[in-house]
Amino acid sequence: MRYISTRGQAPELSFEEAMLTGLARDGGLYLPAEIPVMSQDEIAALAGLPYEEIAFRVMWPYVNESFAEDEFKAIIARAYDGFGHDGRAPLKQLNENHFLLELFHGPTLAFKDFAMQLIGQLFQEALKRRGDRVTIVGATSGDTGSAAIEAFRGLDAVDVFILFPHGRVSEVQRRQMTTPADSNVHALAVDGDFDDCQAALKDMFNDFEFRDGVKLAGVNSINFARVLAQIVYYFSAAVSLGAPHRKVSFTVPTGNFGDIFAGYLAKRMGLPIDRLVVATNQNDILHRCLSGEGYFKGDTVPSISPSMDIQVSSNFERALYFAYGEDGGAVAQLMDELKNGGFNVSQGAMEALRESFDSGRVSEDETLATIKHTLTRSAELVCPHTAVGIKVAEEHRSADVPMITLATAHPAKFPATVEKASGEHPPLPSRMSDLYERPERVTRIANDLGALEDHIRRHIAE
Ligand SMILES: *Cc1c(COP(=O)(O)O)cnc(C)c1O
């Protein structure tokens, strides 16, 4: 499989090259040149298999030029070994035909572990083979950073620097980033919001001298390997509810459009997905856009679902690429307009988006009420992001198609909000109950590209 840029001006790469590169040199995002399709029989045969086996069958066509079959199977086994649940991504029933897909049983209690643990193993294998080392820089609204640090800590071919918005992540999220003692881990608290962190990261990738000098690699959700790992649980969940013989819908609490874009690829691969529903908090650029109001940046407003406090949704570019008929030039032009505030989506592209996607927005009060309601009615304590999903899912579900809402984080990652809403304190799983006692290590830093690049240059291992 070859990988092409959404803006059409960067060289085609292999999976391994696209993974190690992250952002394409024309500023675009990598995508497979064609989407592999699974037959209905192949999908039916996934029912009842272990998660790791489903993962192998779904991802194999995307990576088979870069890894040997046994090598890739071993990578998958190592990636999910540290999860606290044998099912990896178990389903729970909320009511007649609404289900929760629990994606928070990984080492940092959020769905990002599914992709990040896999990427850590893929990087290790690829770099070992090449005798190379890289500097990973990531921007996080909270969960990506801790997941990246857990995935890369202690690997000698990698330094990992994580930029997070100072004061805007939860205490559990912060401690997960600042307490690992490994010398290749560097947590940076930036004076700015998540969009500032993400913009600084993009600027570093566009500074080719810096990028080549430190061998910069990205593991943000722009990295296609992240999206790839997330396709798997759409398959595992759908087949356990009767796919391909029965359609299912998904509701996905979304900020960067990464997780839900994986659902779109699953659908294009042949999984019978009826609707893909985007659920946003008050930072609602995606909901506004899918409602026909164009894609215009607003100011990011901090919310109780902070991992979705995003006003520029980086993976949406991939959806636009398909909505605009795989026209890289058109996407490049839209992204130019975005620099000046935003753009209107053409009528044809809107129709293409609406074929797959619906959307909804949830207020802060509704999020709290949904946490309470879900505990009372279904005996489940859910995190605020998951609550955003549940609320939108209830508005969009139909009687005859099961709805699956992605439960993106464990409630114990956001204990203050969950307790305020429900009156119950969500305990951390016992394997991480000493988190509040471990010493923290973090550098506070200005939202300034020069300062950030300088810090990184001075702190990478020789
Ligand atoms: C990252 C994250 C999201 C948003 O995921 P995207 O891929 O950015 O859309 C939602 N919920 C939680 C808990 C997250 O960590």
Residue 377, burial from CB neighbour count under 10 angstroms (0-12, 13-18, 19+): exposed
Note whether residue 134 is domain-resident: no
pLDDT at residue number 25: 86
Mutate to test the pocket of ligand 1, among 29, 104, 227, 308 (most ligand atoms within 8 A of CB): 308
CA of 113 to the centre of ligand 1 (A): 11
Q: In what order do the strands lie in the sheet containing 98-102?
A: 91-95, 98-102, 403-407, 248-253, 273-280, 357-361
How far apart are alpha carbons 455 and 106 in whole angstroms? 31
Q: Could you tell me if residue 377 is inside a domain?
A: yes
The residues annotated with a catalytic role in the active site are 112
306 neighbors 169 (Cβ within 8 angstroms): yes
Residue 418's pLDDT is 98
Mean pLDDT of 350-356: 97
CA of 370 to the centre of ligand 1 (A): 18
* Mean predicted confidence (pLDDT) in 420-434: 93
17: part of which helix (H) or strand (E)? helix 15-21
Q: Which of 68, 183, 119, 194 is nearest to 441 (CA)?
A: 183
Give, in degrees to the nearest 5, the angle at Cα 255 between 297 and 265: 115
pLDDT in tens, 10-61: 999 999 999 998 888 899 999 999 999 999 999 999 999 999 999 999 999 9
Give the number of domains in the chain.
Answer: 1
For residue 141, give the ligand 1 atom closest to its CA. Answer: 1
Per-residue model confidence (pLDDT) at position 67: 96
The percent of the chain in helix, strand and coil, each rounded to the nearest 5, is 50, 15, 35
* pLDDT attached to residue 312: 86
What pTM did the predictor assign?
A: 0.94
pLDDT of residue 144: 87
DSSP 195-210: HHHHHHHHHHHH-HHH
Q: Tell me the two tokens of residue 247.
A: 């359609």
**Any idea which residue has 């918005």 for tokens?**
165
Q: Report in angstroms the alpha-carbon separations of 76 from 20, 61, 175, 226, 381.
A: 18, 15, 27, 13, 30
CA angle 183, 187, 189 (to 5 degrees): 155
Identify the domain containing residue 285 by its residue range. 91-106+224-422
What Cα–Cα distance (Å) separates residue 456 from each residue in 124, 137, 147, 196?
Answer: 21, 9, 20, 17
CATH number (domain holding residue 301): 3.40.50.1100
Q: Is the CB of 256 under 6 A from ligand 1?
A: yes
* 254 close to ligand 1 (CB < 6 Angstrom): yes
190 three-class SS: strand
Helix extents (H) in 22-68? 40-44, 51-63
130 Cα to the center of ligand 1, angstroms: 32
- CB distance 198 to ligand 1 below 6 Å: no
Over residues 332-343, the pLDDT tens digits come to: 999 999 999 999
Residue 164, in any domain of the structure: no
408 lines ligand 1 (CB under 6 A): yes
Per residue in 70-123, pLDDT (tens digit) is: 999 999 999 999 999 999 999 999 999 999 999 999 999 999 999 999 999 999
State in Å: Cα 408 to ligand 1 middle. 7
> Which of 102, 143, 168, 177 has most ligand 1 atoms within 8 Å of its beta carbon, as the pocket-test mutant?
143
Question: 90 or 157, which is more confident?
Answer: 90
Confidence of residue 462 (pLDDT cuts 50, 70, 90): low
Closest C-alpha to ligand 1, atom 9 = 254
Q: Tell me if 259 CB under 6 Å of ligand 1.
A: yes
Within 316-363, where are the H helices?
316-323, 328-339, 347-356
Q: Which of 254, 305, 310, 316 to mutate to test the pocket of ligand 1 (most atoms within 8 A of CB)?
A: 254
Distance CA 382, CA 432 (A): 19
pLDDT of 31 reads 97
Domain assignment present for residue 58? The answer is no
Q: Are 91 and 100 in contact (CB under 8 A)?
A: yes
pLDDT digits (tens, 9 = 90+) for 256-290: 999 999 999 999 999 999 999 999 999 999 999 99
**Tokens standing for residue 104:** 């928070």
Both tokens of residue 141? 């609204």
Predicted confidence at residue 156, as pLDDT, reads: 83
What count of other Cβ atoms lies within 10 Å of the Cβ of residue 63? 20
Mean pLDDT estimate for the chain: 95
Backbone angles phi and psi of 346, in degrees to 5 = -65, 160
Q: Is residue 281 part of a domain?
A: yes
In a domain, 333, yes or no: yes
Span 362-385, pLDDT tens digits? 999 999 999 999 999 999 999 999
Which residue's CA is the nearest one to ligand 1's atom 8?
Answer: 256
Please give the average per-residue pLDDT across 345-372, as a whole number: 98
Percent of the chain clearing pLDDT 90 (strictly above): 87
Residue 325 lies in a domain: yes
201 in a domain, yes or no? no
Task: Say yes or no: CB of residue 374 within 6 Å of ligand 1.
Answer: no
| Cα of 308 from ligand 1 centre, angstroms | 6
Question: Would the CB of 226 count as within 6 Å of ligand 1?
Answer: no
450 contact partners, CB below 8 Å, separation of at least 6: none
Q: What is the pLDDT of residue 220?
A: 78
Residue 221: its pLDDT value, please? Answer: 78
Cα–Cα distance, 348 to 338 (Å, whole number): 19
CA atoms within 13 A on the CB side of 371: 29
Which residue's alpha carbon is nearest to atom 5 within ligand 1?
A: 254
Q: Give the model's confidence band at 244: pLDDT under 50 very low, under 70 low, under 90 confident, else very high.
A: very high
pLDDT in the model for residue 342: 97
CB atoms within 10 A of CB 85: 14
